[in-house]
């Protein structure tokens, strides 16, 4: 992990001062004036980010988000399993299940879209659901 972050003309870096580790924010104003610098304790930076809604400060909200993420991923997997069964193991070649197959495929696609940006409990991006092509229905 690097101790310096540069974004456009702002540089943030870890420094050691008399009271311990801190974050030095340096903003280049122009080529004539000295850069503006602010020394912040990490907790001060976190408090500012929480205050302005950049990061969530409510631990209950984080737990709720984790719970809903887990539930949506399980629901998506169950929908995919049902869709896979209907496509590959049902008797749709002898019975007219066109409506059911179309509906299950569309529902599986919606579930995949709802979960597209979710992160699983292990911190990894949720894997995209695999889905047979619609052409296999016919």
Identify whether residues 111 and 75 lie together within a single domain.
yes
Read off the DSSP letter of residue 57.
-
Sign of the CA dihedral running 127, 82, 64, 116: positive
Same domain, 65 and 129: yes
Helix (H) or strand (E) holding 7: strand 4-7
131 shares a domain with 89: yes
Interval 83-126: pLDDT, tens? 888 888 877 677 888 888 889 899 999 988 888 888 665 556 56
Query: Whole domain around residue 23: which residue ranges?
Result: 4-51
Same domain, 21 and 75: no
**Residue 87 shares a structural domain with residue 128:** yes
7 vs 24: CA distance, rounded Å: 14
Extract the tokens encoding 5.
């972050």
| pTM attached to this predicted model | 0.47
Whether 71 and 121 share a structural domain: yes
Q: 16-32 pLDDT, tens per residue?
A: 888 889 999 999 877 77
Count of the separate structural domains present in the chain: 2
Cα–Cα dist 132/136, whole Å: 7
- Residues 64 and 129 placed together within one structural domain of the fold: yes
């Amino acid at each position: 992990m690097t101790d310096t972050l540069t974004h456009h003309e702002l540089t943030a870096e870890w420094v050691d001062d008399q009271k311990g580790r801190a974050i030095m924010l340096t903003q280049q104003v122009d080529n004539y004036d000295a850069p503006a610098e602010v020394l912040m304790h990490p907790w001060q930076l976190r408090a500012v980010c929480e205050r302005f809604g950049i990061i969530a400060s409510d631990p209950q909200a984080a737990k709720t988000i984790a719970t809903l993420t887990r539930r949506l991923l399980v629901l998506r997997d169950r929908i995919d399993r049902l869709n896979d069964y209907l496509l590959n193991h049902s008797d749709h070649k002898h019975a007219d299940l066109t409506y059911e197959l179309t509906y299950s495929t569309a529902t599986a696609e919606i579930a995949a879209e709802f979960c597209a940006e979710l992160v699983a409990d292990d911190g990894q991006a949720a894997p995209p659901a695999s889905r047979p092509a619609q052409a296999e229905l016919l």
